[in-house]
């Protein structure tokens, strides 16, 4: 499959790095892996890191919004980092950037979440 | 080459047709194939990303909405280049759309249980210069969209 999900726990924060192409075909695996990691790891917050994401369409918006809802229902916070201009445009069109905080990199995202928790 | 094909390609334009099974693994294939065809216009990376995204949106819609994920459906794509304009059509022979105005609303999806975002049509409308949908209940959906590729002009004028 043309998409890899890398997971890393950093205290109560789950870092999810997506590498490759996020579309309808790869969306389901991303959803399953992220939901499993959220449940298993007792993660409170989530950083979605998109530095190596080479393609995304509206199916990706659906998965991201879905995970945002999961984390929120568990009382946590989800943020995104390394958002390239084309992904940013999709966030703007859909209004997702209004509910998801965007950070430059993992370090700034983490330090923000550590203040929250 | 048959006589008919020769005739069609006789003008300045160029074209291609692509047909494939309605399987989600073909979504990546479809967008890469269209992008490769359009490369002859020397598009920018941004233009290519826009084209790949709209192809991905339309093909995904054929598969999940047109054919309800039945892999026996057929998706047809054509791309035509005339001067610096690329015209893409994407078609299925599936369910069709009952209320097109509703379907085109940003964030509207008929399949929220699949975590759809309802942004496909909005993206196609925004990323392309022209966009039209013809759909008939029970017989399928046809999308036609156009985009002017600016990069070549910018380079040579
Ligand atoms: N090819 C198609 N065949 C049947 N219905 C379609 C097709 N394309 C789109 N639709 C309808 O239009 C709605 C909106 O499409 P879109 O904006 O791409 O959102 P999404 O795919 O996230 O549902 C779909 O939920 C579906 O009801
Ligand atoms: Mg869609």
Q: What share of chain A is helix, strand, coil (3-state, %, to 5)?
A: 50, 30, 20
Helix (H) or strand (E) holding A4: strand A3-10
Q: Is B4 helix (H, G, I), strand (E, B) or coil?
A: helix
Tell me whether residue B154 is in a domain: no
Asked if A25 lies within 8 A of B119 by C-beta distance, the reply is no
Tell me whether residue B136 is in a domain: yes
List residues bridging with A107 in a β-sheet.
Answer: none
What CATH number was assigned to the domain covering residues A3-116?
Answer: 3.30.750.24
Tell me whether residue B157 is in a domain: no
Distance from CA of B97 to the nearest CA of A (A): 19
Tell me whether residue B156 is in a domain: no
Asked if A65 lies within 8 A of B116 by C-beta distance, the reply is no
Secondary structure of B50-100 as H, E, C letters: HHHHHHHHHHHHHHHHHCCCCCCCEEEEEEEEECCEEEEEEEECCCCCCCH
Contacts of B24 in chain A (CB under 8 A): 23-25
Taking CA atoms, A81 is separated from A45, A76, A106, A117, B142, in Å, by: 14, 17, 6, 18, 37
Tell me whether residue B75 is in a domain: yes
pLDDT at residue A41, as a whole number: 76
| Residue nearest atom 20 of ligand 1, based on CA coordinates | B118
pLDDT at residue A1, as a whole number: 67
Q: Which of B147, B146, B148, B133 is nearest to B61 (CA)?
A: B133
Tell me whether residue B155 is in a domain: no
Nearest CB neighbour to B122, from listed A23, A55, A93 = A93
Angle at alpha carbon of residue B130, lines to B89 and B123, rounded to 5° = 85
Q: Is B110 helix (H, G, I), strand (E, B) or coil?
A: coil
Domain coverage including residue B118: 2-149
CATH number assigned to the domain comprising residue B124: 3.30.565.10
Asked if A62 lies within 8 A of B115 by C-beta distance, the reply is yes
pLDDT at residue B156, as a whole number: 57
Tell me whether residue B23 is in a domain: yes
In this prediction, the residues of chain B whose per-residue pLDDT falls under 70 are: 1-12, 151-157
Q: What are the φ and ψ backbone dihedral angles of B94, each rounded to 5 degrees? A: -100, -140
Total number of domains in chain B: 1
Tokens of A20: 């490759």
Tell me whether residue B65 is in a domain: yes
Each residue's pLDDT expressed in tens, for chain A with a length of 117 residues? 689 999 999 888 999 999 999 999 999 999 999 999 998 877 789 999 999 999 999 999 999 999 999 999 999 999 999 999 999 999 999 999 999 999 999 999 999 888 765
pLDDT at residue A116, as a whole number: 67
Q: Cα separation of B89 and B141, whole Å? A: 10
In B, minimum Cα distance to A84 occurs at B46
Neighbouring CB atoms inside 10 A of B94's CB total: 24
**How do residues B124-138 score in pLDDT, each as one tens digit?**
999 999 999 999 999
In B, minimum Cα distance to A90 occurs at B123
Q: Cα separation of B4 and B1, whole Å? A: 8
Q: Is A46 helix (H, G, I), strand (E, B) or coil?
A: strand
Q: Which of B80, B98, B102 is nearest to B89 (CA)?
A: B80
Angle at alpha carbon of residue A26, lines to A25 and A28, rounded to 5° = 95
The answer to whether A72 touches A41, Cβ cutoff 8 Å, is: no
pLDDT at residue B59, as a whole number: 98
């Amino acid at each position: 499959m043309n998409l890899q999900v890398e997971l890393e726990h950093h205290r109560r924060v789950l870092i999810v790095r997506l590498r490759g192409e996020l579309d309808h075909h790869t969306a389901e695996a991303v959803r399953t892996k992220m939901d499993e990691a959220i449940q298993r790891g007792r993660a409170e917050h989530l950083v979605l890191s998109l530095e190596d994401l080479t393609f995304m369409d509206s199916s990706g918006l659906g998965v991201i919004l879905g995970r945002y809802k999961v984390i929120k229902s568990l009382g946590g916070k989800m943020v995104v980092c390394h958002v390239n201009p084309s992904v940013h445009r999709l966030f703007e069109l859909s209004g997702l950037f209004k509910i998801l905080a965007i950070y430059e990199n993992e370090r700034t995202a983490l330090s923000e979440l550590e203040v929250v928790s | 080459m048959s006589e008919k094909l020769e005739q069609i390609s006789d003008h300045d334009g160029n074209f291609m047709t692509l047909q494939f099974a309605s399987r989600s693994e073909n979504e990546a294939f479809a967008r890469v194939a269209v992008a490769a065809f359009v490369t002859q216009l020397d598009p920018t990376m941004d233009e290519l990303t826009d084209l790949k995204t709209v192809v991905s949106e339309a093909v995904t819609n054929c598969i999940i909405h047109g054919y309800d994920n039945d892999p026996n459906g057929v998706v047809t794509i054509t791309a035509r280049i005339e001067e610096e304009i690329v015209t893409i059509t994407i078609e299925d022979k599936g369910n069709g759309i009952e209320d097109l105005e509703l379907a085109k609303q940003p964030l509207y999806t008929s399949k929220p249980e699949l975590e759809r975002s309802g942004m496909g049509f909005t993206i196609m409308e925004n990323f392309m210069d022209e966009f039209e949908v013809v759909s008939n209940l029970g017989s399928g959906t046809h999308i036609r969209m156009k985009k002017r590729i600016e990069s070549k002009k910018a380079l040579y004028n």
